[in-house]
A = this chain, B = another copy of it.
Amino acid sequence: MIWNTDRMDYYAADCILGMTRVFPERWKCLRAGKNAGILMKAEPTPDRFAVIISGGGGNGPFCPGYVADGLADAAVLGAPFAAPNAYAIYEAGKYLGKGSGVLLLYNNFSGDYLNNDMARELLEEDNIQVEVVVANDDIATALNEPRENRSGRTGIALLIKLAGACAQRKMPLRQAADIVRRANERLGTLSMHMYFDRNLIEYGAGFSGEPGIRTENHMDMKRSAREVVELLTESLNPGKDEKLFLLVNRLRLTSYPDSFIMANAVYEALSRNYKVERVRVAAFSNIVDTYGYEFSILCMDDEISELMGNSTATDSFMI
């Protein structure tokens, strides 16, 4: 739920102003205007490529809270629930990408696609090296269609971390983009919404009311954990040599203890047949006013697993 109704056009700007006021050592503002704003790290690192993420304002911590050492260099915010315009993304890329280029990373929604695509064109006209990676981890969308038609979801948190790790190692942009794309291919996310009053668990529902792909009439935590694992591993089919990173995102009404209890249940179901290397639990993308979770699994080869090895602490999660 959001407030600030009297200045909705300046929602992103006001958010950025508050963030830089509270944490001046973490963040600064590159631009804050009508319907768009650009938040960046307080101390940019110009000797490596920049990771720029973008999306509609109105929720969090994705995407502004992902601006951090080891994660994104900047976040471009639009109005609540609306993609930021291409010029704001272009401006961020021009400022941060001059030296070693820029990686544009966003979730697969049409507005974000159109604006990032135009920003890429504008940046390339300025001879700034650009790579684009589009997260499409939501396994419950675009069923029986090519993977690239799927929506992106919370799994993007893991791609931001991976991109940030590549940047910290001063990897060439193209090599980093290839690694992040490879990870995106092995990433899946499934939502689970609970309706206690109707004794109903819904798997795969979207965050704008899109219906799920399966419902069950029970309230058994261990059984639901097995169902989550079944749906995710059917879709991802993890290989014997892959190591799994499990991300548990609690939705807004879910308590802190419940998120750790559920994460442990999913860990136990998953680790019966697979090597789970890492589990992280938090409100990574606190978008739905409901009780429930989103579960993301990233299947990692050795190179990606090594890159994902360090923890990054932000103002609202550890990943």
Contacts and interface: CB of A to CB of B under 8 A. Distances in A.
Interface of A: 1-6, 11-12, 14-15, 17-19, 21-23, 57-61, 64-65, 194, 196, 219-221, 252-264, 267, 279-283, 286, 289, 291, 313-318
A253 B11 contact: no
B254 A1 contact: yes
What is the count of identical protomers in the complex?
A: 2
Contacts of A261: 3-4, 11, 14-15, 17-18
B255 A1 contact: yes
8 interchain residue pairs of minimum CB distance: A60-B256, A18-B260, A15-B257, A313-B313, A18-B264, A315-B318, A14-B261, A1-B253
Contact of A221 (B3, B59, B254): B3
Nearest to A248: B22
Contacts of A280: 22
A286 B21 CA distance: 23
A89 B29 CA distance: 46
A254 B60 CA distance: 10
Contacts of A286: 255-256
Contacts of A1: 196, 253-255, 291
Contacts of A313: 313-315, 318
A4 B317 contact: no
Contacts of A282: 315-316
Contacts of A14: 257, 261, 264
Contacts of A3: 194, 196, 219, 221, 254-255, 258, 261-262, 291
A4 B59 contact: no
A267 B23 CA distance: 13
B260 A58 contact: no
A98 B263 CA distance: 35
B59 A256 contact: yes
Given A264-B18, A281-B22, A315-B282, A65 B256 contact: yes
A272 to B, nearest CB: 15
A24 B37 CA distance: 38
B260 A19 contact: yes
A250 to B, nearest CB: 10
